[in-house]
Amino acid sequence: MLLLGLTGSIATGKSTVSNILRSAPYNLPIIDADVLAREVVEPGTPGYAAIVRHFGPTTPDLLLPADDPLSRGTHDAPQEMGPNGKGRPLNRPALGRAVFGGGVDTVEARKVLNGIVHPAVRRAMWKQVLYYYMTGHWAVVLDIPLLFEGPLHYSCGTALVVAVKDPAIQMARLRARDAHLSEEDAKNRVLSQGDVREKAERALARGAGRGVVVWNDGEREELKKGVDKVMEELRSRSPWWWTTLCLICPPVGITSGGWALLRNWMIDRAWVKEKTAEKAKL
């Protein structure tokens, strides 16, 4: 089974590509890191407890007010304890300001938050990957905004980056989508996810079929054509008989996956070393 790592940056069109891949004619299962990131910090989870413990003392509005509709409890769960009786939901805008506000403190805060959320998301992802493998899917999409910032990209047979060549297009799309963001807030959010053009370069360094880029500076129709072209190539590299063989003979799939992981690790380490050397010369 092909693990297709889908990534990009905020407002580059990654969600649009995800919706294309989940629809006909592809009908691929999507494992969305953003969705899982919400689920693993719901009240009552270890992630929720860790966030409240760390950010609560410095973020007074970290939890939604008891009178907020999303905080309303039931007869058995008072408002102060939230709808499931395990605590009021997180106030996500307040948490966002704490980790995206810019400056040294917010950089450290973001590292703490990622250290809480990312491991929990990875565990949830692998459970779903195993399910889709056992049900015979030829590919599954791992929709991960920060794919290259963690270890999961080594496990992906193909990394697909949705990118834009013009940074101004990315900023304009973000501010049009999230009108409440100031120019500075939008800039901080874009910078927090890294340069998408560098992510594209990193993907292409993997080689043909193992790293692909769909450029999204134009209209949706152009994006769809780019996705179709990429998927046609990937499907030809993963024929039905290979998917069947990996399913009925797990050692074959495990061996293939292990080799892909090692290969991706070696290529990526070489790329990182080269980029580090280039930046050191500047």
Q: Which residue has the higher pLDDT, 88 or 143?
A: 143
Residue in 4, 1, 11 with CA at minimum distance from that of residue 192: 11
CA dist 144 and 142 (Å) reads: 6
**Whether this model's pTM surpasses 0.75:** yes
Average pLDDT over every residue of 72-81: 55
- The model's pLDDT over 94-131, given as tens digits with 9 standing for 90+, comes to 888 888 876 667 888 888 998 999 899 999 999 999 99
> How would residue 140 be classed by pLDDT, with cut points 50, 70 and 90?
very high
Q: Say if residue 76's pLDDT is above 60.
A: no
Beta bridge partners of 141: 4, 30
Domain 1-29+138-282 belongs to what topology? Rossmann fold (3.40.50)
- The model's pLDDT over 154-210, given as tens digits with 9 standing for 90+, comes to 999 999 999 999 988 888 888 888 888 888 888 888 887 788 999 999 999 999 999
CA atoms within 13 A on the CB side of 268: 24
Average pLDDT over every residue of 45-69: 87
Q: Which residue has the higher pLDDT, 14 or 105?
A: 14
How far does CA 102 lie from the centroid of its chain?
A: 21
Rounded (to 5) percent helix, strand, coil in the chain: 60, 10, 30
pLDDT at position 88: 87
Least confident of 8-12, 69-73, 107-111, 120-124: 69-73
The CA-based diameter of the chain, rounded to the nearest angstrom, is: 65
- The model's pLDDT over 208-227, given as tens digits with 9 standing for 90+, comes to 999 999 999 999 999 999 99
Q: List, by residue range, all CATH 3.40.50.300 domains of the chain.
A: 1-29+138-282
